[in-house]
Structure 1
Amino acid sequence: MKVLLAARRRSPRPAMILSGVALALAGASCQGGNGDDAGVAEGADAVLAGEITVFAAASLSDAFAELGAAMENEGDATSIEFSFASSSALRVQIEEGAPADVFASADLVQMELAVDAGIVEAPAVFARNELVIVVPDGNPAGTESVEDLADAGLRVVLANEDVPIGRYAREVVGSLAGGLGTGFEEAVLANVVSNESDARAVLAKVELGEADAGIVYITDALVAGEAVEVIEIPDGVNVAAEYPIGVVSDADNPGGASGFIDFVLSDDGQAILREHGFTSG
């Protein structure tokens, strides 16, 4: 199994435009992790074999690494290459011709754009996540709640607003402003000292003490362990992040891609995701 830091490129290909495409993910999402045909491109026989290239959101790094190892153990002829980055960056890379068989996004927006561009087929929601605030071990700034993000001088780090975790974080801040006043949102955004490329980059800033607080997925906080402390975001303003997955339209290994997705949706795959803090799709 290989983990790639950057995607390889091949010659760009024209996008296949699908007329009247609607992303009906609710109906296609996995039901009880039974591994039905949701998310499998029509006409592709699911065969767990050959080299499978998976482009996946950075927050899936640890869970998918374990999934990949389990799959490689099941299929002797299977080799899985992962490329982890922000969902928006990965979508653009696929559009520009980077070779991929599977695309797993951290939000519906990027998947909808991929479907509209004709580069991904039959996506299905396979996992969900939620947001938390992380502070460095020892909490030197004394942050105790989401309201404290507006404290003058607090160094806050978020992800760029064009990537899922950055957009989700700003949604949370905007929702809090509904009860705390518009001045709250302005104060929090004024405290932002860095906008990072993805959730893992936000987490790294906090772990290194280069920020007093950051907003990441709960799954990222679990990876950090004792390096950070977690402050929960109230359910009423938190965001339920949905993760869709689909076969890339011109995948070199569509059967392997479908096999990978089947495994992710299976009971075994869902169990691995839950171990890493995700909830079922």
Structure 2
Amino acid sequence: MVKEVKKDPNELTVEEKLAALYQLQTILTEVDKIKTLRGELPLEVQDLEDEVVGLKTRIENFKNEVDELKADIANRKHNIEAANALIAKYTEQQDNVRNNREYETLSKEIEYKNLEIELDQKRIREGMDVINNRTEEIAENQVEVEERSKDLEAKKEELDSIVAETKQQEEKLREKAKALETNIEPRLLQAFKRIRKNCRNGLGIVTVQRDACGGCFNKIPPQKQLDIRMRKKIIVCEYCGRIMIDPELAGVVEEVPATPVKKRRASKKVASKEPKAKAAPKVETPDVDMEDVEA
């Protein structure tokens, strides 16, 4: 296990800083595992909530549009009634005109009012078509809202169930992490969080494993490995930027690979057998000649 650190961040040695960071990383990794149990449920719930809000907004916009069209239709019907009244008035006045000029003027007014009536009637028909379409779309969207709302409730129940199971454990881990953060130098803590955010697996500090970085698995030069074991300065991987820590300080037992050694021994045995198989025919001939010489 890692060593306990002092409470004053300014008095920490490099070794204590690394130990504190690795302990914090261990706790945060446990929190990440709890989040993994939830899977994509939080995102699915958020997407469904956004979709339901979008559908409700669309329905509201359609309803407002229908109300505006209905008000416009009512206004145009009122204009048609007023125009018909004027047409009747102008027609009656035509019977009492004194000259052709007055008659033509009234005729033009009647013609103009008829054109207005035709235009209003056309706009009313168009408005009614739009109202019918919007009414159908509102009904379809309402059905979709009901279906999405059911899916949302089911996903929320599933998510709440998982959260309820892990909430207490997660809260304890977060409290431990918060307490540890107070014992870490702010600049170092900020850098550690930035590294964690940029890494896929959330590892900001890793151990050296088999002479390689435990995060990106790139080979580490021997001199840099020595510097890491010395614990005199903060060293980061030149490939992935993660902070590196000595496995012994982290309390991690490094595994020694055994399989590659067996493969090398097997290859030597095969190599030693091949020359013997090729030289066998040549050995028999000298034996026969030596017997003839003795005879």
The TM tier, using the shorter chain, reads under 0.3
Which structure shows the bigger proportion of residues in strand conformation? 1
TM-score by length of 1: 0.20
Higher RCO structure (Cα 8 Å, ≥6 apart): 1
Larger helix share, 1 or 2: 2
After TM superposition, the score normalised by the length of structure 2 is: 0.19
